[in-house]
Chains A and B, each alone.
Chain A
């Protein structure tokens, strides 16, 4: 009797071969095997792209404005066809809202009835972070595009640095920060997914947004220099961004380590999520792409760049690595979101979440 095996799912034990005759008092001797619950699949790559581009655009805009406040400005870039009085240089720094708008279009693609978004998406801002996000992103895109338009078409007024321009920039920075934070807060609001229910996740996404934004901005500034005909034209701005990145990357490593550590010590579902990342089926993407390629490699390149100025290819390679790591990080966080297991049987975990009809049809 002692070697009887049984399997358990959600606390309901079902015996194999003759276990029905076992009295309840022997239940303690029954070996229990738990099935591994499956992560959610409703939010996949498209939503990861939405969160990534939202953070990237917001981070880039925020840093561009802060650099402007610090006195790092790109030389004027004019075009013969647009005449004088127009400065296209701002396009290479204040493009963040356009990227956020592109990211928002990914959410629209994800929706089943996308045209309804514009009429109904903000009906429930009191409870839904998606509705709040719609409002935050809309406000950021509008203010950001106004800033961009003014910087391009009214450069004289902007370079005057009047109070109106500063206030507009400050509102833009606040909305950019809110946009970057929202990408994490949306996930954190899903209270039945323990891997997302921690403030470390919005923190991680904000730091990652700034890191990705800084590197995208660096690439953009390099392109501006090339277009102006002087590749090393924006070297001071590049070095400033590199300095910022040398702070952000270690910070992101720390927050990521804290996040995974908290998951491991958290609820069983959160620990499972951490296991998936650290040594489960997502380990290659996590260790190779996020940690090695997305954090350690670019950090080493930034350190090299600090001692070898005048080699813009070094931070350019690092920028591509950081941008790739940022996208994969969000995809991984979404992909390890395991719901809390109800005390009742978690039926949807069977067959990898596929209901009977679908599973049967697939087999046939």
Chain B
């Protein structure tokens, strides 16, 4: 499986969103942290309004899943895979990687709504917009992601590519090495001991 690109910014990195000018020259992606997500759905509604003008969660490019008995919330959007299979599977090349930003986008003018990219995506990140009749996915709002601005707990951050993948690899390794580590870190994050921008025990983002 292709690894998502990206890296968390350093502990002092900006998580409140950044303008397009800051993204130029440095490839950036959204980094989602389910341990900080409170399930407030502001990102979902904000995305839907920003992209469609409607307060319809079904048309949002980001989704939040509830973790059943575990009481967790997991935000999910495009992981901007380095080898994005959705771009290969798309019959019309509507789903493609932008040369300048490196972000994978779907050209809605060329999409035929076949939903192949949804089947192809290992995360199921693209979603079908029934009203528009096309598949849609996160394109980081052209370098100024609205969900990041709206996420009060800092569960969504717009970070440089390099740090994001290292962060994710480290998380997976930690979880496999110490299954209960995730609980401790989540608990610390929710109780306010550690949050975005603060130094955790591992000296990085939560």
Chain B residue at minimal CB-CB distance from A110: B114
The total of interchain contacts (Cβ-Cβ below 8 angstroms) comes to 193
Distance between B1 CB and nearest chain A CB, rounded to angstroms: 6
Residues on B close to A: CB < 8 A?
A: 1, 34, 39, 41, 44, 57-58, 60, 63-70, 72-74, 76, 85, 87-94, 110-116, 118-124, 128-130, 132-135, 168, 171-172, 175-176, 178-184, 186-187
B94 touches A190 (CB 8 A): no
Residue in chain B with minimal CB distance to A126: B88
Return 11 A-B CB contacts under 8 Å, by A number: A12-B179, A20-B183, A23-B180, A116-B92, A120-B112, A123-B92, A343-B172, A348-B76, A348-B124, A350-B68, A355-B63
Q: In this complex, what residue of B is CB-closest to A127?
A: B88
Chain B residue numbers with a CB within 8 Å of A337 are 119
Q: State whether the Cβ of A356 lies closer than 8 Å to any Cβ in chain B.
A: yes
Residue of A43, A128, A353, A358 contacting most chain B CB atoms (<10 Å): A128
Among candidates B74, B85, B112, B130, residue contacting A347 with C-beta atoms closer than 8 Å: B74
Q: Which of A20, A23, A117 is close to B112, meaning CB atoms less than 8 Å apart?
A: A117
CB distance from A207 to the nearest CB of B (A): 24
Among the listed B39, B116, B168, B179, which residue makes an inter-chain contact with A356, where contact means beta carbons less than 8 Å apart? B39
Residues 1-44 of chain A: 1 if any B CB is under 8 Å from the residue's CB, otherwise 0?
00000111101111100011011101100101001000010110
The interface size of chain A toward B, counting residues with CB under 8 Å, comes to: 65
Question: Which of B60, B91, B124 contacts A131, CB < 8 Å?
Answer: B91
A13-B180, A356-B73 given; 12 more Cβ-contact pairs under 8 Å: A13-B175, A24-B179, A30-B180, A112-B111, A112-B129, A120-B110, A192-B121, A193-B119, A350-B67, A355-B64, A357-B57, A358-B57
Q: Are A344 and B118 in contact (CB under 8 A)?
A: no
**Contact partner, B120, options A19, A190, A350, Cβ 8 Å:** A190
Q: Could you say which residues of chain A place their CB within 8 Å of the CB of B123? A: 342, 348
A14 contact from B94, B113, B178, B182, Cβ within 8 A? B182
Contact in complex: B113, A111 (CB < 8 Å): yes
Find chain A residues with CB under 8 A from B69 CB.
7
Q: How far is the CB of A46 from chain B (nearest CB, A)?
A: 11
- Do A130 and B124 touch (CB < 8 A)? no
Say if the beta carbon of A345 comes within 8 Å of chain B: yes
Asked if A138 is an interface residue, CB under 8 A from chain B, the answer is no
Q: How far is the CB of A220 from chain B (nearest CB, A)?
A: 31
> Which residues of A pack against B, CB within 8 Å?
6-9, 11-15, 19-20, 22-24, 26-27, 30, 32, 35, 40, 42-43, 107, 110-114, 116-117, 120-124, 127-131, 134, 189-193, 337, 339-340, 342-345, 347-348, 350-351, 353, 355-361
Min Cβ gap B205→A in Å is 15
- A40 shortest CB reach to chain B, Å: 6
Closest to A114 in B: B112
A13 near B183 with CB under 8 A, answer yes
Contacting residues, chain A, for B176 (C-beta < 8 A): 11
A24 touches B113 (CB 8 A): no
Contact of B85 among A26, A130, A191 (CB under 8 A): A191
Q: B116 to nearest A CB, angstroms?
A: 5
Provide the residues of chain A in CB contact with B92, threshold 8 Å.
Answer: 116, 120-121, 123-124, 131
Contact of A120 among B70, B94, B181 (CB under 8 A): B94
Could you tell me if B58 and A357 are in contact, using CB atoms closer than 8 angstroms?
Answer: yes
Q: Could you tell me the distance between the alpha carbons of A342 and B122 in the complex, rounded to whole angstroms?
A: 7
Contact A128 B180 (CB under 8 A): no
Asked whether, in the complex, the Cβ of B91 is within 8 Å of the Cβ of A347, the reply is no
Instruction: Report the bound CA distance from A9 to B74 in whole Å.
Output: 12
Chain A residues positioned under 8 Å from B65 (CB to CB): 347-348, 350-351, 355-356
A182 to chain B, nearest CB (A): 13
